[in-house]
Amino acid sequence: MKKGRNVGTAMDGRQGGKRVMAALLIGGLMVVAALATRASDRDGEQGTPADTQVRRIAAVDALQGHVQLATEQLVQLLVTPEREQRVPIYARIDEENAQADKALADLAALSASPQERAHLSALQDLRARYGELYTASVEEIELNGAKGALAQFWSETRGALMALTQATAHAVDDERARLKALRAGEAVVEREAWMRAGLAALAVLLAAGLGRLLSHHRGAARLQPSVP
């Protein structure tokens, strides 16, 4: 009878060890899942800095593109003598200028840090200066013809236009370099997070193995015959 009780006790011990191991494994999986879910929820709700940077690049790219298209139309305007032929060109320039202003507004909405606000302010100043001189060129065309407008363009408007074009090109390069650095940093953070999760899961597995080993030893000790 005593032997039967010992065997039953050992079996209970093994069953208990299995339950402990299962509980620890489930706990480890829950830890890993919680870390992954928390990271996913944070990225989904707020977006990562790299996501914001992608939108900033899109805004600066759009600004640069519309400035270039407006420039091409302005050059065409300056060599178009007939008023009727200039009217559709004015419409195209107005559209490109409106889209450039929209791109600047989009960039402003994505500019939070002092450095970003400073870069935005510089672009806005250059854009405003070019807008003033563009209006002056248009007035010169309508009042004195293309010859006077060309003189005004080469003396003033061209410099403002080049400054704006160069600034937008540099802004695109700067924003893309910043995105590259942000993505590299986020990759490091993500690797570290998953490494911590892996270590946590490994610790749980080791604890489960240790628990099973201890349970086995306790069961074996109970099977040993008692000394009379």
12-53 tens-digit pLDDT: 545 555 555 555 555 555 555 555 555 455 444 446 788 888
Looking at per-residue pLDDT, the higher value among 59 and 187 belongs to 59
- Please state, as a whole number, how many other Cβ atoms lie within 10 Å of the Cβ of residue 121: 12
State the burial class of residue 227 (Cβ atoms within 10 Å of its Cβ: 0-12, 13-18, 19+): exposed
- Measured over the CA atoms of residue 107, residue 113, residue 116 and residue 117, the dihedral's sign is positive
- Please state, as a whole number, how many other Cβ atoms lie within 10 Å of the Cβ of residue 85: 11
Q: Which pLDDT belongs to residue 7?
A: 44
* Burial per residue of 1-28, b for 16 or more beta-carbon CB atoms within 10 angstroms, e otherwise: eeeeebeeebeebeeebeebbeebeeeb
Q: Are 175 and 50 in contact (CB under 8 A)?
A: no
DSSP 113: S
Residues 141-192: tens digit of each pLDDT: 888 887 778 888 888 888 998 899 899 988 888 888 888 876 775 655 566 6
Main-chain phi, psi angles of 168, to 5 degrees: -70, -40
Q: Which pLDDT belongs to residue 99?
A: 93
At 226, is the secondary structure helix, strand, or coil? Answer: coil
Give me 142's structure tokens: 């309508």
Name the residue among 48, 186, 203, 60 with its Cα closest to residue 124.
Answer: 60
Residue found by looking up tokens 């563009």 in the block: 134
Q: How confident is the model at residue 101 (pLDDT cuts 50, 70, 90)?
A: very high
